[in-house]
């Protein structure tokens, strides 16, 4: 039975600005059937710029002022591509994305904001940071604070640009630095002869008075010519010394827009009253990157927020053949300007006031806005049985629904029970069969390894899913010590038009090809079918080239256990499906899964007595299998095992992959202190790893050299335990 409409249209959101973030929330509540929604943004989070001064002043932590696009995308049913759009072919309906194949769209919307800062000559290593985009600025500011606190840099800063943003930033910097040093010095540099040249005089007077009260050095009529290291040289010949420069002067549009053929005003996309480009009816634009031809307005986030409902309605109308509605911007709006400490000034209709409680009001408004962008935890799909059901159905309905990736695999006990009656290989050319990472086949004087794997989708990005699937499947080849040879793909697509099938297969094959070709193998074909959910699989072969296959058995007493990737991706993906994982955690986990284990395996291959890739049965399951086949015991330390960011936090909250009840059945056969069984890290030992790292048993006297080689080639590795004699009792002992 079909549970969703077939995909016939692609909607592309470029940029995670305020309007697009609100649109994702609205789309999740009222999606348009038949539309595949895609968001492209460089980062998994987007800053809420209204709280930037509060962050700089130290009133908020960074994650308190960021919009989690990963959670919003999951709620909206959108695929999130972490990347930079650097070009549009509006005639063909294609967007180019740095580092990956372009993608197709029927309708696109731009909400990419602006960069702050006037064109400056920057010479050598400089302390200049542009306030937008905020992600890099926030990292630079935190580094500066850390160095000031350590005494390695002076508590000085300068802000280039005396608009509202620059004034707020200067006072926020002064407030934060003053808490670290009594020798704080902040300078505000403005090219015109007054700050806020377009603001009402009453507001300007209030802010100048506050700047003077804080002893902030105000340089008016001072245009910056260039920045050299920690020195800004002004056009008038003066200089300003500061250990940190923040530039908020001017508004710079994305330069690649000039190459799109769009009608622009000073580099910004000209839109009509429906927020659609006046030159191309397949593109809409909102926020600071748009110029409203019908009613020009200053660059301010309040307009993007008000545009969101109209944009949502018009995008759905454009995709379904409906009628577009106009946007009516307000004439004036309330401005609440923070004053460094927890104080603020308000201005509207030319009247400005500074009263106790204004900062608390601003704080409440800002937090209420972010609350609007915090989707509820995504409900997991469940069966909706009514009336009589077969015995056991309700128990399965109440269980956690299946995860994707390795979390969707059958448990080890079920698999072993199903395979126990499998006949031993009868052919003489089958050297190894069931029980190892891959089958080993004899081909005359050569040996070939053969493996297969497939995933139900855990990400809506087909390209990334394909890359991870390829790296995961190649892990079996590398674990045996073989060189990848050839690959066949098996794809299941969901219902969609033929044009969308073509695009989806193209993205999948490009993702597979990028990994398989880099591994030295060829993608030679495959098979496709339609089904209920996207699934990507591979069959792979590899050649031993005269070497003997390593396999699971062969570990020796005294060997050290080396692991090459952190543990916890199964828990993170399970949490992401439920809207519980932070976007930064998810982005880091996806990057880890895309990372190839080929280079690490090649280094370990020279010394490993036994090796396997850590995948669906978790670290404990795969290590136990290695020890069992080697007829030895082993010990690992929870302190020595590397963990993915966020995994311990989620495990502590009881978040596990759906296969956890099966993989954790091994816990009863392990030697571990009872107190450690309650440690969330112990639960993560049974976490299924998608595209996990290599686990190798290597001679103790070779560990130092192997780790040095790994470091030289940029590969991570951790020594997590050792191998001992089988007479110890339990196969596996876990210590703190």
Three-class secondary structure assignment of 287-311 = HHHEEECCCCCCCCHHHHHHHHHHH
> Cβ(115)–Cβ(133) under 8 Å?
yes
C-alpha to C-alpha distance for 339 and 325, rounded to whole angstroms? 39
> Cβ(593)–Cβ(466) under 8 Å?
no
Long-range contacts of the stretch 364-372 (C-beta < 8 A, 24+):
365/336, 366/48, 366/50, 366/51, 366/54, 369/48, 369/50, 369/305, 370/48, 370/51, 370/64, 370/65, 370/67, 372/22, 372/25
Apex 619 CA angle, 614 and 620, nearest 5 = 140
Least Cα distance to 149 among 180, 185, 177 occurs for 180
C-alpha to C-alpha distance for 660 and 678, rounded to whole angstroms? 15
406 is catalytic: yes
- Lateral strand order in the sheet of 560-563: 610-613, 694-698, 560-563, 718-724, 633-637, 732-735, 671-672
| Segment holding 724, helix H or strand E | strand 718-724
C-alpha to C-alpha distance for 192 and 125, rounded to whole angstroms? 28
> Cβ(216)–Cβ(171) under 8 Å?
yes
Residues 6+ apart with CB under 8 A from 57: 171, 172, 173, 175, 176, 338, 340, 341
Q: According to DSSP H, which parts of 595-645 are helical?
A: 598-605, 618-630
On the 0-12 / 13-18 / 19+ scale of CB atoms within 10 A, 277 is buried
Q: According to DSSP H, which parts of 30-163 are helical?
A: 52-57, 69-76, 134-150
> Cβ(159)–Cβ(189) under 8 Å?
yes
Residues 6+ apart with CB under 8 A from 250: 116, 117, 118, 161
> Cβ(614)–Cβ(565) under 8 Å?
yes
Least Cα distance to 49 among 144, 149, 172 occurs for 172
Residues 6+ apart with CB under 8 A from 361: 336, 344
> Cβ(160)–Cβ(235) under 8 Å?
no
C-alpha to C-alpha distance for 91 and 55, rounded to whole angstroms? 42
Residues 6+ apart with CB under 8 A from 367: none
Residue with tokens 């059958």: 410
C-alpha to C-alpha distance for 227 and 233, rounded to whole angstroms? 6
> Cβ(283)–Cβ(314) under 8 Å?
no
Residue with tokens 């923070």: 338
Q: In this structure, what token pair is assigned to residue 415?
A: 């698999």
Least Cα distance to 214 among 251, 170, 179, 180 occurs for 170
Residue 346 β-bridge partners: 336, 353
Catalytic residue among 406, 420, 452, 644: 406
Residue 311 phi, psi (nearest 5): -60, -45
Apex 678 CA angle, 673 and 682, nearest 5 = 75
Q: Cα 425 to chain center, whole Å?
A: 45
Peptide bond into 133 cis (omega under 30): yes
Question: Active-site residues: which are they?
Answer: 406
């Amino acid at each position: 039975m079909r549970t969703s409409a077939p995909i016939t249209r692609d909607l592309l959101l470029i940029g995670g600005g305020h309007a697009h973030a609100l649109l994702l929330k609205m789309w999740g509540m009222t999606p348009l059937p038949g539309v595949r929604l895609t968001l492209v943004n460089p980062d998994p989070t987007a800053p809420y710029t209204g709280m930037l001064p509060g962050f700089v002043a130290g009133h908020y932590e960074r994650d308190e002022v960021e919009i989690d696009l990963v959670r919003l995308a999951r709620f909206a049913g959108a695929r999130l591509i972490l990347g930079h759009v650097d070009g549009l072919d509006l005639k063909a309906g294609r967007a180019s994305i740095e580092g990956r194949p372009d993608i197709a769209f029927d309708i696109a919307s731009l909400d990419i904001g602006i960069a702050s800062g006037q064109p400056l000559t920057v010479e050598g290593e400089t302390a200049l940071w542009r306030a937008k985009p905020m992600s890099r600025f926030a990292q630079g500011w935190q580094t500066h604070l850390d160095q000031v606190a350590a005494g390695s840099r002076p508590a000085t800063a300068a802000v280039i640009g005396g608009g509202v943003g620059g004034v707020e930033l200067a006072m926020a910097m002064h407030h934060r630095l003053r808490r670290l040093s009594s020798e704080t010095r902040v300078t505000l540099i403005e090219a015109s002869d007054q700050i806020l040249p377009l603001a009402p005089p009453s507001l300007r007077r209030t802010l100048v008075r506050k700047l003077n009260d804080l002893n902030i050095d105000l340089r008016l009529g001072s245009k910056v010519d260039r920045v050299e290291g920690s020195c800004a040289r002004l056009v008038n010949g003066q200089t300003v010394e500061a250990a940190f420069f923040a530039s908020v002067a001017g508004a710079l549009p994305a330069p690649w827009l000039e190459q799109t053929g769009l009608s622009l005003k000073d580099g910004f996309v000209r839109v009509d009253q429906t927020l659609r480009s006046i030159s191309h009816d397949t593109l809409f634009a909102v926020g600071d990157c748009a110029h409203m031809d019908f009613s020009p307005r200053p660059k301010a986030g309040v307009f993007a927020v008000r545009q969101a409902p109209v944009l949502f309605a018009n995008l759905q109308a454009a995709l379904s053949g409906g009628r577009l509605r106009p946007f009516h911007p307000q004439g004036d709006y309330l401005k609440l300007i923070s004053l460094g400490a927890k104080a603020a000034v308000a201005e509207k209709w030319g009247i400005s006031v500074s009263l106790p409680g204004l900062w608390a009001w601003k704080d409440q408004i800002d937090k209420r806005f972010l609350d609007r962008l915090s989707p509820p935890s995504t409900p997991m799909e469940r069966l909706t049985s009514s009336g009589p059901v077969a015995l056991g159905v309700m128990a399965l309905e109440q269980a956690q629904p299946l995860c994707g990736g390795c979390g969707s695999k059958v448990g080890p006990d079920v698999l072993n029970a199903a395979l126990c009656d499998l006949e031993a290989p009868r052919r003489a050319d089958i050297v190894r069969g069931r029980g190892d990472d891959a089958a080993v086949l004899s081909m005359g004087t050569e040996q070939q390894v053969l493996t297969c794997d497939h995933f139900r989708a855990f990400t809506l990005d087909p390209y990334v899913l394909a890359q991870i699937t390829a790296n995961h499947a190649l892990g079996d080849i590398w674990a045996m010590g073989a060189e990848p040879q050839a690959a066949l793909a098996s794809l299941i697509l969901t219902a969609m038009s033929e044009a969308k099938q073509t695009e989806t297969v193209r993205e999948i094959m490009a993702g597979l090809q990028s990994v398989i070709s880099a591994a030295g193998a060829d993608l030679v074909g495959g098979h496709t079918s339609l089904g209920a959910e996207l699934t990507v699989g591979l069959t792979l072969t590899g050649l031993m080239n005269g070497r003997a296959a390593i396999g699971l058995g062969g570990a020796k007493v005294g060997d050290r256990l080396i692991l090459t990737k952190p543990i916890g991706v199964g828990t993170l993906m399970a949490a992401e499906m439920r809207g519980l994982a932070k976007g930064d955690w998810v982005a880091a986990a996806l990057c880890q899964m895309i990372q190839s284990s080929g280079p690490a395996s090649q280094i370990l291959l020279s010394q490993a007595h036994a090796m396997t890739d850590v995948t669906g049965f978790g670290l404990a399951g795969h290590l136990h299998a290695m020890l069992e086949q080697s007829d030895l015991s082993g010990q690992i330390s929870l302190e020595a095992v590397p963990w993915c960011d966020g995994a311990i936090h989620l495990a502590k909250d009881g978040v596990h992959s759906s296969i956890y009840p099966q993989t954790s059945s091994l816990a009863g056969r392990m030697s571990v202190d009872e107190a450690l069984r309650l440690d969330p890290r112990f639960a993560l030992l049974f976490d299924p790893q998608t595209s996990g790292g290599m686990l190798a048993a290597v001679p103790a006297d070779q560990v130092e050299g192997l780790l040095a080689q790994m470091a030289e080639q940029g590969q991570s590795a951790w020594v997590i335990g050792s191998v001992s004699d089988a007479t110890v009792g339990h196969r596996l002992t876990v210590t703190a």
